């Protein structure tokens, strides 16, 4: 099977799969290029097609985003991800991708707190940040839960609190601060 055929098959599977429910069963944000690339990498690695996964990583938007954020990501994350792909080590790949997406979600929570603390918070702005954070975190919640069920539960509680704060925008900066703290601790524990 060629790379192009496999990519089309994976894209069809991702697009045809029913939307996974949000943790409350209500909503899952649509994929973007990074989350689609993640799913392609994950499916390829699960199928033992590490040569395909390497090419998807090398040429994909996920690696480009890692490079763009190198200053704020844990040192050597791109190299560790690439090494896991080269060696066909699925567990190490899963861990590296978990770290990447937790870092993306944390950075969004920090930015949400900053923006909402300096401007009049609106429910729409809070909701957009929540959707973006969940888009990334939701991809790795299962892996986080396998490694640290308490951290996963803390994130879900912080997210639910932020969802309820959307109705009371004055609470939004604090709610996003809590999400950023939870994700920051999660990231620190995952890196060490």
Residues 101-111 have pLDDT tens digits of 999 999 999 99
The pLDDT of residue 109: 97
Domain enclosing residue 104, as ranges: 31-191
Q: Is the pLDDT of residue 7 over 80?
A: no
21: left (phi over 0), alpha (psi -120 to 50) or beta: beta
With respect to residue 90, please indicate whether it lies within any of the assigned structural domains: yes
Task: Evaluate whether 57 touches 64 at the Cβ level (below 8 Å).
Answer: no
Distance, C-alpha 186 to centroid of its chain: 13
Give how many domains the chain has, as a whole number.
Answer: 1
With respect to residue 15, please indicate whether it lies within any of the assigned structural domains: no
With respect to residue 89, please indicate whether it lies within any of the assigned structural domains: yes
The pLDDT of residue 9: 36
**Percentage of the chain surpassing pLDDT 70?**
85
With respect to residue 14, please indicate whether it lies within any of the assigned structural domains: no
The pLDDT of residue 14: 38
Q: Is the pLDDT of residue 11 over 70?
A: no
What is the pLDDT averaged over residues 50-63?
97
With respect to residue 172, please indicate whether it lies within any of the assigned structural domains: yes
47 phi and psi angles, rounded to 5 deg: -85, 0
- CA–CA dist 68, 147 (Å, integer): 28
With respect to residue 23, please indicate whether it lies within any of the assigned structural domains: no
- CA–CA dist 152, 186 (Å, integer): 9
With respect to residue 17, please indicate whether it lies within any of the assigned structural domains: no
- Of 24-33, 60-69, 91-100, the poorest mean pLDDT is in 24-33
**Percentage of the chain surpassing pLDDT 90?**
75
- CA–CA dist 85, 42 (Å, integer): 11
With respect to residue 1, please indicate whether it lies within any of the assigned structural domains: no
Please give the model's pTM, rounded to 2 decimal places: 0.83
């Amino acid at each position: 099977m060629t790379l192009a055929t496999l990519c089309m098959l994976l894209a069809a599977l991702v697009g045809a799969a029913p939307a996974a429910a949000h943790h409350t069963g209500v909503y899952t944000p649509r994929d973007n290029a990074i989350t689609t690339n993640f799913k392609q990498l994950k499916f390829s690695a699960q199928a033992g097609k590490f040569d395909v996964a390497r090419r998807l990583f090398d040429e994909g938007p996920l690696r480009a985003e890692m490079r763009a954020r190198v200053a704020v990501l844990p040192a050597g994350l791109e190299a560790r991800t690439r090494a896991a792909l080269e060696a066909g080590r699925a567990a190490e790949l899963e861990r590296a991708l978990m770290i990447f997406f937790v870092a993306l979600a944390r950075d969004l929570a920090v930015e949400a707190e900053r923006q909402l603390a300096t401007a009049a918070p609106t429910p729409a702005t809070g909701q957009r940040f929540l959707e973006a954070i969940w888009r990334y975190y939701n991809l790795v919640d299962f892996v986080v839960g396998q490694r640290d069920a308490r951290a996963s539960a803390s994130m879900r509680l912080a997210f639910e609190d932020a969802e309820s704060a959307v109705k009371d925008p004055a609470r939004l900066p604090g709610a996003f601060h809590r999400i950023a703290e939870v994700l920051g601790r999660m990231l620190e524990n995952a890196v060490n």
